[in-house]
Structures are given as C-alpha cells and as structure tokens.
Chains A and B, each alone.
Chain A
Amino acid sequence: MENPILDFLYLVCIILFIIGLKRLSHPDTAKKGNMIAGFGMGAAILITMFYPMENESNNYLWIVGGLILGGIIGFTAAKKVKMTAMPEMVSLFNGLGGACSMLIAAVEFYNLPEGTPMMSTEVLTIIFALFVGSIAFTGSIVAWGKLDGFLRDSLVLPAPQVINIIMLVAVLVLSGFIMVQPELNFTLVIILLIVCLVYGITFVTPIGGGDMPVVISLLNSFTGIAAAGAGLIYGNQVMIVGGIIVGASGTILTVLMCQAMNRSLFNVIIGGFSGSGSSSGSDREQVVKEASHSDTAIQLKYSNKVMVVPGYGLAVAQAQHICHDLEKALENEGVEVKYAIHPVAGRMPGHMNVLLAEADVPYPKLLELEEANEQMSTTDMVLVIGANDVVNPAAKEDTGSPIYGMPILDVELAGTVIVLKRSMRPGYAGIENPLFFGEKTKMLFGDAKDSLGKLKEEVGNA
C-alpha cells in the first residue's frame, strides 16, 4: 500500500538528514544541524506510525511504550554522562542500534512465509542485516568495555588473526548452508546469530585501547549499513538512504582518523598496539628529573611563551577548568599561553577541544598539530598535562616502536618540558616514552588537578 503524501514526507526526512549532517561539519552551524537531523528523525518515526499497511494491527501501545522507555533511558544517560566518558557512551549507543538491526533480522527470518525459496535475495538481505548488526552490537560493547576500563587490553586471544579468519569463514559457510536448504531451518539461523555475535567480540578484542576511536567510528558505519540492510528487508527508503549515508560518512571519518595517526585502517585492525615496544628508548639514559611546584611556577612566570599539551590525563583529572585558571593567571603576568592539540589526543579526535571549550578556553588559543610544531622552537616552556603517546619521540626515532610514523608534537624543540603525570606508567598504547628521560624534561608527579592548582597559587604568590 502506498500513500503519496507520506511518501513525499519520507523524502523530506531524508533531505533533513543530509542537511543536518552537512551543517554538523561546520562549527558555526553544527548545533542547528544536529537539531535538523533530530527533527527529521522525529518526523520519520511519526510518518512510519501512520503509514498505511497491509494486515496492520498497529499495536500502538507497544510502540509508544518502547519509544518512551528508550527515550527516557537515552536522555538520562546522555545528560548524566561526564564529558570524559563521552566516547564510551557513543560506543554503547551505537551497539544498541546494531542490536536493534539484529533483532529485526532474526524476527524477519522467523516470520518468513512458508515456502519462501531460501536461495533468494530476500534471504541474503536478512542474513546481511543479521551479520552486520550483530558485529556492530558485540563489537561496540567490547569497545565500550575497553574504554570504560572493565575490559583490559591484557585480555589476549591466541592468534587473533587466525581466529577471525576462521570466524569469517564460518559465517560464510553457515550462510551458504542456510540458503541451500529446501526450507527455513531456524536452528541454523540461531547458530549463525551466535557465531556472528562471537565474531564481533573476536573482531574488536585484539585491537588496542588506543585505537578504540577508530574502531568506534568503524562500528558506527557498520550500524548504518545494518540499518540500511534492515531497510532493504522492508523496502523503506528512509532507512536505506539514512543508513547508507551514515555508513559512507562513517567510513570516511574512520579513514580521516587513521590518517591523523599515519596508519592504515588495515594496520589498525590487524596489527593493533601489541604490548610494549620491542626496543624502545634504546640509547637514552634512563634518569628521571623531578620538578617542584614552586620552581616550575617561577619558571612559568618568567617565560615569554608557554605551550600546554593536554591529553587524556587532563580529562580524567577533570582539570580543564583549573588549567584555564592557570592560563589566565599567566596571561595576567604577560605570558603568552597557547594549547597544542594533537589530532588524537584524548580518546577521540576533538576530545580535547570539547573539553577545553567546556572550560571557556578561547578558541584562537587552540593550535593544531602543524601550527603548534611551527611555534615550538620559539616556546620557552611546554606543559604536558596527562599526555603521553602524542609527545613520544619514539614515533620519530625508533623504527621498532608500534607508533613509529605517527606525527607527534615536537615538544623537545622548546626550552623546557614539564610533564605532569601521576606516575611513570606508560600511556594507553602501553609503550615507554623516552621523552620522560630527556635532557630538557622534568617530571611533576601527582594528580593533574592538584598540581595545576598549586602551580596557579604559586604563580599568584611568587
């Protein structure tokens, strides 16, 4: 059954999605873009509720119940989550979307009318939605766990590549087997579903926590593709186009993130950061110099230019506000303060920008990688706050290092480097950082928030 007006309104929803995404990619229009896309989604849901169908029995109570339940949970979670936990949240949300595609595919299998030929594009579509949806589901859950910390990287599978190839072959063979059966064998479908779910886990588990942003972006595009697959089952244009656009844009975004780390997507998925670097920090003398708060404060005060390099540690310590306070105190003393933002600092690209914007740090103070490196040689002091891998010179010097080739912030070009860190533990990629043993480097141990607070006080007193 069709309804020309509602069909046309579906088209309008698609246009709203596209305009929304387009606006989301410019800083001035992003907020509006998000609203427009959200409005499009609301309209699409309403249209679907009233679109005329054959054998409709509506069950509106169940629909509204599901919408309210999901709406309340989603809204509360989004409002309560801390800015630092944003990446985990996105990953979890994404997994739930994938789970929905998976459920739809499973149910549509079950509902296939008797006598449906198994060797048909219809069945192939359902298998596809089931496969992609379940990988996005369990994969996102694992990514969430890794970022949240309840799953550690130490969980290692023996020969992960071999396992993943076996899983993929198993999925293909099972799918083929389902399609050559004379009629629907639902037990086989359940087995396929379980294999797909396990594949999602084995797919993400070997990938290091440092690469999770890339993985989340990739899984996000999977969810889009799964939604498009489910859309093909119903021949629903909004789902198909919306899903494919997310799938395509998610893939592009994934590639952009990989480029920021100077690695290929293939390398991220297959390689991962495998434990500690083979031969890192070879020739450097392993002596750590410790700095005191008062010395550092005085040195800061009499600098002309200070560069702050924020990392995940800043986010964990919730130190963005006190960092901004210190910056203001220094500016009052006539010191020029800039922030050097590495594209993959934090757990997601743009993570630091969001965090510093929250603390009202003026936008022009944030320098991107290249600009920051250009100014590094004229900088007197660098404050590395909870960042590690993005300032690791091993990426330039040590060909054996797993992060070799990644562009880094050249903090050693500056006069002095002060590293604020809780302990000597290696960063998220799990590799030693020769910078900490460098000639120009001093370590300021302790919680970033406490240390910055003390520094600010000392700058005021001195």
Chain B
Amino acid sequence: MDSILQFIIDNIEMLYILVFAIFLGMEVISKVPTVLHTPLMSGANAISGVVVIGAIILIRNTNPGNYIMLIIGMLGIALATVNVIGGFAVTDRMLHMFKKKKK
C-alpha cells in the first residue's frame, strides 16, 4: 500500500499528463464525418508509430559491440518506420482523392 502511495507522489505529474492526454484524445476526434473515418484511422495509426523513438533510444544506449542488441534495435526501428512512413503515405493517398473532386 505504501509503495502505491509513494508511486502516486513520485509520478503525480505523469498521472496528470496521462489523464489530460486521454481526455484530449477523446475530444479531438469526437466529431468526425463518416467519410473521414478510414483516413483518420490510418493517420492515427501512423502516429502510433511514435514507438520508433523508443527503439532509437534503445539503440543509442547499446554497447557498440553488442551485435544482437543492435540487430534487434535496428529491426525495431525498421518495423516502426514502416508503420510511420507507410501510414502517412497511405493516408496522404486516400486524402488526395478527396482533394481532386473539389475542383
């Protein structure tokens, strides 16, 4: 019990951020026309590739001689980058089609 209380005290700012981010995420998206559901899902999916940052941090802290870790880290970066680049590119392609019809 004490450890839980201590955790709350130590991480109170983090908890604030978490709570606000949850509400922000729900509010940002609550009014979306159906037409945009697919591109929006795809765009949000690209943002979830933000985990690539974790893989970069991981690799930067790895001993240069530790090849197994470096390969795993690079694999992680590559996977997440596919998610990021692919996600944004696919979203852009979808949205491009909406643009055309306006003219």
Contact = CB atoms under 8 A, between A and B. Distances in A.
Given A86-B38, A245-B21, A250 B44 contact: yes
A100 B76 contact: yes
A59 to B, nearest CB: 5
Interface in A208-251: 216-217, 220, 223-224, 226-227, 230-234, 236-251
Q: What does DSSP make chain A's interface, helix, strand, loop or mixed?
A: helix
Contacts of A62: 59, 70, 73-74, 77
Interface residues of B, number: 81
A90 B41 contact: yes
Contact of B72 (A30, A49, A107): A107
A166 to B, nearest CB: 29
Contacts of A181: none
A37 B23 CA distance: 19
B18 interface: yes
Interface residues of A, number: 109
Interface in A262-312: none
B82 A96 contact: yes
A86 B94 contact: yes
B41 to A, nearest CB: 6
B55 A253 contact: no
A30 B56 contact: no
| Of listed A44, A100, A249, residue having the most chain B CB within 10 A | A100
Interface string B73-84: 111111111111
Contacts of A400: none
B22 interface: yes
Given A37-B43, A253-B41, A45 B53 contact: yes
A130 B97 CA distance: 38
A231 B14 CA distance: 11
B37 to A, nearest CB: 4
A71 B81 contact: yes
Interface in B9-62: 11, 14, 17-18, 21-26, 28-62
B82 A77 contact: yes
Given A103-B72, A349-B34, A18 B24 contact: yes
Contact of B45 (A41, A220, A257): A220
Contacts of A361: 101
A103 B50 contact: no
Contact of B29 (A21, A44, A79): A21
Nearest to B38: A350
Interface string A25-61: 1110011011101100100110011000101111100
A150 interface: no
B57 A27 contact: no
Pick the most buried of A34, A58, A366: most chain B CB atoms within 10 A of its CB. A34
